[in-house]
Amino acid sequence: MAEVLKVLANLINDLHDFIVSAFGILGISVSDKDLHFWLIGFIGLVLFFVVDAMFKQISRWNISVLSFVYTFTVLVVLVFGLEIQQKITGRGKMDFDDIVAGLWGFVVMFGGLLVVKGLVYSIRRLWGK
């Protein structure tokens, strides 16, 4: 099990380095917090869509609130795991602010999703569909 965790930690570290290098090539400087904000926000949205679809299939009720809570909970575990992995491997700085930045990324992106859904709902209501 320890070997699997080390392989996964190295994979995550290599992915981190690749992303930072790719942004560097594009002339974009990203801090660790920027990376956490965008990646965790994106992962959170993808996870939300999967969880939401799954729960909607299980019960035909609108359970988006439950999907949000579940997704947020999984993200809390994920970002704590990432920070612990940084501490264990010595790659990056274990920082609570990174956890907050990652979770804010999801909350902000989810807020954007709610705005878009609200606009679509309003437009459909105005046009009577």
Instruction: Please determine, for residue 6, whether its predicted confidence score (pLDDT) is greater than 60.
Output: yes
Q: Is 57 domain-assigned?
A: yes
Domain that holds residue 110: 32-126
pLDDT value at residue 61: 62
pLDDT value at residue 116: 94
Report whether 36 contacts 105 (CB < 8 A): yes
Q: Is 84 domain-assigned?
A: yes
Distances 25 to 29, 58, 93 between C-alpha atoms, Å:
9, 45, 23
Q: How many domains does the chain have?
A: 1
Q: 105 is written with which tokens?
A: 């990324």
Tens of pLDDT, residue by residue over 64-73, are 777 888 888 8
Q: Is 50 domain-assigned?
A: yes
Q: Is 9 domain-assigned?
A: no
* Three-class DSSP labels, 64-123: HHHHHHHHHHHHHHHHHHHHHHHHHHCCCCCCHHHHHHHHHHHHHHHHHHHHHHHHHHHH
Q: Is 38 domain-assigned?
A: yes
Tens of pLDDT, residue by residue over 33-86, are 888 888 888 889 999 999 888 877 776 666 777 788 888 889 999 988 888 888
| pTM, to two decimals | 0.59
Q: Is 4 domain-assigned?
A: no
Tens of pLDDT, residue by residue over 9-38, are 888 888 888 888 888 888 888 888 888 888
Q: Is 13 domain-assigned?
A: no
Tens of pLDDT, residue by residue over 95-121, are 778 888 889 999 999 999 999 999 999
Q: Is 16 domain-assigned?
A: no
What is the rounded CA–CA span in Å between residue 119 and residue 42?
A: 21
pLDDT value at residue 46: 92
